[in-house]
């Protein structure tokens, strides 16, 4: 954000107590009166009210000295923070952000995101910043303002002025609010973002400085298809914060979603995945996950998909539901057989194949030597999968 001249608080991150101490000292050197804000960096909200598994409470702390800030960081680093968004397992804190404290005078909300209704980017803003914007949208939809952006002409000054005044910025801060909105759009385009959300988009000041506009907290999403030209951004990715199965599937060119049921699902295509999960629910069980092998997976990718599914300890049974078009049924069958033998499959396996090379696929399964229950259609497959784990 600094690169795009967006006004943010001074600060930096540290992965050790020594690094956090240095950040705090640098902030204090520029402003001896500054308060230091110490924030645990995990991929979840509710950090301030969270508790670390070592008993330390609060993933957001305040300090007046670099030494105290570093001491607080030491209680966070290497420890697991549990919040209402992490679930009971929590997430390990490997990085701490130290920022210069800011006296906030008012909090607004501002975002730029891709919107299908407008067929392009749109600015979304609200005077009710610092709050759960989804709740505001649900209870006070009139408090949410939208302003479409012409992708050829870009943001117009009259649009940013309209929003700045509607949000209630002080007259002396209107120009700063407009400039930050414009700079955020430059960031949106320059980083191939799909969402740039600032909450709060605030008026505030440092001790002894005049009021101005700050982007205090941000959430940014990026288009994965542009990763090849956003190497600097994607190098910041911390896969330790992500489900290792998601990462493993992505590396194999697959799509994996973990759920909380007991039947693992291998499918091809998002529509078939949804239908498979719905019918499992209809027959009284819940999907543990689904893994979409897409339309052109190789036998090696199918093997890896099978291994990812069986690595989930909650899985009590597997349902493979493939409608072969570009994805050939014999390729799926080959991968299933290889993987089942490699992992030593110990849970029931139900397979429904239909489409391209289906007879060849069934023949491979029948002569594989692995224990497999075949199904004729989706309804039959779901019933057998549920019955198998009963």
Domain ranges of the chain: 9-100, 103-234, 244-385
Beta strand 51-52 pairing with 96-100? unpaired
pLDDT, one tens digit for every residue, the chain (390 residues):
999 999 999 999 999 999 999 999 999 998 888 899 999 999 888 898 999 999 999 999 999 999 999 999 999 999 999 998 888 889 999 999 999 998 999 999 999 999 988 889 999 999 988 878 888 888 888 889 999 999 999 999 999 999 999 999 999 999 999 999 999 999 999 999 999 999 999 999 987 789 999 999 899 999 989 999 999 999 988 877 777 888 888 888 888 888 889 999 988 888 888 999 999 999 999 999 888 887 667 778 878 888 888 888 889 999 998 887 777 888 888 888 888 888 888 889 999 998 889 999 999 999 998 888 999 899 999 999 999 998
pLDDT of residue 306: 80
Contact between residue 331 and residue 360 where contact means Cβ atoms under 8 Å apart: no
**Catalytic-residue membership of 109:** yes
Exactly one of 19, 147, 197, 203 is catalytic; name it: 197
Instruction: Please give the Cα distance from 78 to 226 (Å, whole number).
Output: 32
Residue-level pLDDT at 192: 96
Catalytic residue, candidates 19, 35, 109, 147: 109
What contacts 24+ positions apart, CB below 8 Å, involve 337-341? Answer: 337/364, 337/365, 337/368, 337/370, 338/299, 338/303, 339/302, 339/303, 339/304, 339/305, 339/306, 339/307, 339/310, 340/306, 340/368, 340/370, 340/372, 341/370
Half-sphere exposure at residue 264, Cβ-oriented, CA atoms within 13 angstroms: 22
Other Cβ atoms closer than 10 A to 150 = 12
Half-sphere exposure for 149 (CA within 13 Å, toward CB): 24
**pLDDT at 311 (0 to 100):** 83
Residue whose pair of structure tokens reads 């391209």 in the numeric block: 356
Q: pLDDT tens digits, residue range 281-332?
A: 999 999 998 888 876 677 788 788 888 888 888 899 999 988 877 778 888 8
Q: Could you say which architecture CATH assigns to the domain 244-385?
A: 3-Layer(aba) Sandwich (3.40)
- Return the pLDDT at 16: 96
Half-sphere exposure of 309 (CA within 13 A, CB side): 34
pLDDT recorded at residue 92: 92
Q: Which residues are bridge partners to 46 per DSSP?
A: none
Q: How does DSSP assign 254-303, residue by residue?
A: -EEEE-SSSEEEEESSHHHHHHHHHHHHHTT--EEEEEE--SS--HHHHH
- What is the 3-class SS of 183-211, one letter each residue? HHHHHHHHCCEEEEEEEEEEEEECCCCCC
Please tell me whether residue 311 adopts helix, strand or coil conformation.
coil
Position 317 scores a pLDDT of 93
In the prediction, which pLDDT does 238 show?
81
d(CA 268, CA 296): 9
pTM, full prediction: 0.76
Choose which CATH entry (1.20.120.1760, 3.30.1490.20, 3.40.50.1000, 3.10.28.10) describes domain 9-100: 3.30.1490.20
135 is catalytic: no
Place of tokens 């012409």: 150
Q: Which CATH superfamily is domain 103-234 in?
A: ATP-grasp fold, B domain (3.30.470.20)
Q: What is the pLDDT of residue 164?
A: 97
Number of H helices, E strands in the chain: 12, 19
């Amino acid at each position: 954000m600094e690169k795009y001249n967006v006004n943010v608080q001074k600060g930096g991150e540290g992965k050790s107590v020594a690094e956090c101490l240095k950040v705090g000292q640098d902030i204090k050197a520029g402003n001896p009166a500054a308060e230091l804000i110490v924030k645990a960096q995990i991929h979840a909200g509710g950090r301030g009210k969270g508790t670390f598994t070592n008993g330390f409470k609060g993933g957001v702390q305040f300090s007046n000295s670099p030494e105290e800030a570093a001491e607080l960081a030491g209680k966070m680093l290497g420890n697991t923070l549990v919040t209402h968004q992490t679930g009971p397992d929590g997430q390990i804190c490997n990085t701490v952000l130290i920022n210069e404290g800011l006296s906030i005078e008012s909090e607004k909300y501002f975002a730029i995101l891709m919107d299908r209704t407008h067929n392009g980017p749109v600015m979304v803003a609200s005077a009710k910043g610092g709050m759960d914007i989804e709740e505001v949208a649900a209870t006070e939809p009139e408090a949410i303002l939208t302003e479409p952006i012409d992708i050829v002409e870009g943001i117009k000054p009259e649009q940013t002025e309209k929003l700045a005044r509607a949000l209630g910025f002080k007259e002396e801060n209107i120009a700063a609010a407009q400039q930050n909105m414009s700079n955020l759009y430059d960031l949106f385009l320059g980083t191939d973002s799909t969402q740039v959300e600032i909450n709060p988009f605030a008026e505030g000041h440092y001790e002894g400085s005049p009021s101005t506009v700050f982007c205090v907290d941000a959430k940014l999403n990026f288009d994965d298809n542009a990763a090849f030209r956003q190497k600097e951004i994607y190098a910041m990715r911390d896969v330790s914060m992500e489900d290792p199965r998601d990462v493993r599937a992505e590396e194999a060119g697959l799509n994996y979603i973990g759920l909380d049921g007991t039947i693992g699902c291998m499918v091809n295509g998002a529509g078939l995945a949804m239908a498979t999960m719905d019918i499992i629910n209809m027959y009284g069980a819940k999907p543990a996950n689904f893994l979409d092998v897409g339309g052109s997976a190789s036998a090696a990718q199918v093997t890896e998909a099978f291994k990812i599914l069986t690595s989930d300890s909650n899985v009590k049974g597997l349902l493979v539901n493939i409608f072969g078009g570009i994805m050939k049924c014999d390729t799926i069958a080959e991968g299933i057989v290889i993987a089942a033998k490699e992992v030593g499959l110990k849970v029931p396996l139900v397979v429904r194949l239909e489409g391209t090379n289906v007879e060849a696929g069934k023949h491979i399964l029948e002569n594989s030597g692995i224990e497999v229950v075949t199904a004729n259609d989706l309804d039959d497959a779901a019933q057998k999968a549920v019955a198998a784990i009963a």
